Structure 1
């Protein structure tokens, strides 16, 4: 009886932690009040993040904070070589991201583990770990000291007929407390 009373608080604590959830944000860090000086009009207040926008995400560790920018989306990307091909009925799609450590601790993670591509049919695709001819992959392992940044492609194997809709990214291999979401339309 005593053992079950000791185990009960631990189980309850675990259950409450597991239910804490993740905050999904699509609010861009980009200043809506002023133009970027690139000839494009400023974003309206509350506008959802799109390609080119930055979202700052926190990690589970105190002081872990990254600015994540979706730089470019390639709906149909060619493989780097003849050995890296998508399965029949699929194609490679790629999202180029830039990560900048604006926190006070080192970021050490595999960005591809926390990345998902979503199509207009609400189907979700995980990173595929293939290389494309456009440039370097960023998916496997990144270590960023505070103030450092890195840029590269995350590659996904998607259905040939899929129309890309959203990109989501979380720190801590997808288990971070926040998820950024960018519209790709």
Structure 2
């Protein structure tokens, strides 16, 4: 191949690269985090403990705007996470529970919030730092008995949060 043809081929490649990168569809984001133990509702779906839809393949993706108070984070195709009659397995725990988060993409963290019956029972600062791959929080529940704990991971560098519900029987 002549030098002139090589230069023309390289020039064509350089000029075409930006157009190709714009024209190709972008891959979906693989994100982000959920409570693995005691098993959250999405962890139960991923483990096939409970029969679920799309959430079984992406338990880490329950992401929605900050400020919501729903298990599905406002994501319509994860609505079954809000269904209290779905047959969620209830974990027997003490009044003090350690919740373990697992992250597939780690965002700077504003804070973590835990709610029972609409009342915030814990607020743990993330110091606007990127968390390690797993994080544990020990939370004291307000009472004994069956409860659904809504855990929220508020991201520090976006307007979104990740939502995770855990069904427990506190003794």
Q: TM above 0.5, one fold?
A: no
Higher helix share: 2
TM-score by length of 1: 0.37
Higher CA-based Rg = 2
TM-score by length of 2: 0.39
